[in-house]
Amino acid sequence: MSWITRFLASALPLSALSQQFPPPSLFSIADIPNLSDKVIMVTGGNTGIGYAICSALLKHDATVYLTSRSEERGKEAVAKLKGETGNEAILLQLDTSDLSSVQSAASDFLKREDHLDVLFENAGVCVFDLGSQTRGAVDLTFATNVLGHSYLDKLLLPALENTLKITGHKARIVITSTVGLKGAPQPNGIDFSTLMVSDPTRAAREKLGGLGLYSQSKMVSHYISSCPLRVEYRATPLTFVTSLHPGGVQSGAFKHAPPSIKWIVDLAVRVFFHPAEQGALTPLYAGVSPETADAGGRHFVPWAREATAALDKRALNEETQELSANWMAERIEDDRARL
């Protein structure tokens, strides 16, 4: 089987097939260095890939800030991790779809720490209810997967910038995307009319459907990592890396699938998808391996391989990148005005 996966990785390195059935990883949890001097945040760290990332980091003595939308589930995860690793993560209640929650969590972190070595932007969801929205009427999938993380970046920028000054090494932001971004709308990977929930946008949103909206959100995540275009990052010593596709992994991303297809989704996940611990390898490689210390703007695929190119060339369109960044900046300002 391994020769087949190696052949796929060589002949079709960016194909969905190669990423669903990747060759054996050359990187393992055992390759992670001692992290006792590292401060690391993992969004959505209470479950799935995020939980597996936190577990590996704690086993290597990192100071880990675990964020969870639910405080109760976050506390349960922290207790379970302590039992497994002997080390205790620090819980931050954070709902990335709610910018006031993002602001509160960032403020709490900045009161405790003067720098941040690695930010794993792992939290994500695929919402099939096309009416789901934030208080600002932003599509809930996009808000959770992209907009909230963009605001978190901005708020944590002082700590990220301080990392080089304090430690002598660059901070890393690891953005989790997916091979599913190939399902984003043509021609540019984003239809701005679908990002807001309203009667006039209903037809366009229904055309994309829940999976299309999810793919679109992951395409924009790829935009962010493909080019450091946002003004606040142009002159900063940050390293951007993207775990483009952590692999077909057993996670809760599709827990909101409608009953009519949920049984099919659940069956496919059980049969064809990999354990969360396996899915954590690529983000961990991008985030804490010495081999990727200068991996800014590069992309990774399972298991712990650097991609030969962007997963989708549409993500390299600088005009669309800038339009996306400006759209998000406007939504953030609109939301802050309502606080």
Amino acid 189: pLDDT: 79
Amino acid 300: pLDDT: 86
User: Which residue from 229, 219, 253, 226 is spatially nearest to 242, judged by alpha carbons?
Assistant: 226
Amino acid 70: pLDDT: 96
Residues 6+ apart with CB under 8 A from 223: 189, 315, 320, 321, 324, 325
Q: Cα 42–255–156 angle (5° rounding)?
A: 20
**Helix or strand holding residue 72 (H, E):** helix 71-85
Q: Which residue has the tokens 């932001």?
A: 173
| Rounded percentage of the chain residues whose pLDDT exceeds 70 | 75
pLDDT tens digits along 244-263: 566 555 565 555 556 655 55
Pairwise pLDDT comparison (187 vs 192), residue with the higher score: 192
- Indicate the SS3 state at residue 301: strand
Looking at 51, 65, 151, 214, which residue is catalytic?
214
Amino acid 85: pLDDT: 98
| Residue 2: active-site member | no
Average pLDDT over residues 191-208: 90
Pairwise pLDDT comparison (57 vs 309), residue with the higher score: 57
Mind listing the domains of the chain with CATH numbers? 29-338 (3.40.50.720)
Pairwise pLDDT comparison (73 vs 267), residue with the higher score: 73
Q: Which residue has the tokens 């081999």?
A: 291
54, pLDDT greater than 50: yes
Pairwise pLDDT comparison (151 vs 319), residue with the higher score: 151
Amino acid 90: pLDDT: 99
Classify the phi-psi angles of 247: left when phi > 0, otherwise alpha if psi is within -120 to 50, otherwise beta: left
Amino acid 267: pLDDT: 57
Beta-strand runs (E) in the chain: 39-42, 63-68, 90-93, 118-121, 171-176, 238-243, 298-301, 305-306
Pairwise pLDDT comparison (304 vs 254), residue with the higher score: 304
Lowest mean pLDDT across 169-173, 208-212, 222-226: 222-226
pLDDT tens digits along 93-133: 999 999 999 999 999 999 999 999 999 999 988 777 888 88
Amino acid 243: pLDDT: 56
> Which of 69-73, 253-257, 293-297 ranks highest by mean pLDDT?
69-73
Looking at 150, 218, 225, 226, which residue is catalytic?
218
87, pLDDT greater than 70: yes
Question: Helix 148-167 vs helix 318-338: angle between axes, to the nearest 10 degrees?
Answer: 100
307, pLDDT greater than 60: yes
pTM for the model? 0.87
Residues 6+ apart with CB under 8 A from 136: 331, 334, 335, 338
What is the rounded average pLDDT for all residues in the chain?
82
C-beta atoms surrounding 136 within 10 Å: 17
Amino acid 310: pLDDT: 63
From CA 225, how far away is CA 316, in angstroms rounded? 10
Looking at 68, 132, 150, 177, which residue is catalytic?
177
290 pLDDT tier (thresholds 50, 70, 90): very high
From CA 132, how far away is CA 144, in angstroms rounded? 11
| Residue 218: active-site member | yes
27, pLDDT greater than 90: yes
Lowest mean pLDDT across 74-88, 122-136, 211-225, 310-324: 310-324
Lowest mean pLDDT across 15-19, 148-152, 161-165, 174-178: 15-19
Amino acid 336: pLDDT: 76
DSSP string covering 75-121: HHHHHHHHHHHS--PEEEE--TT-HHHHHHHHHHHHHH-S--SEEEE
Lowest mean pLDDT across 65-69, 238-242, 263-267, 272-276: 263-267
Answer whether 218's CB lies under 8 Å from 181's CB.
yes
> According to DSSP H, which parts of 116-147 are helical?
140-142
| Residue 233: active-site member | no
Average pLDDT over residues 21-33: 87
Average pLDDT over residues 160-179: 88
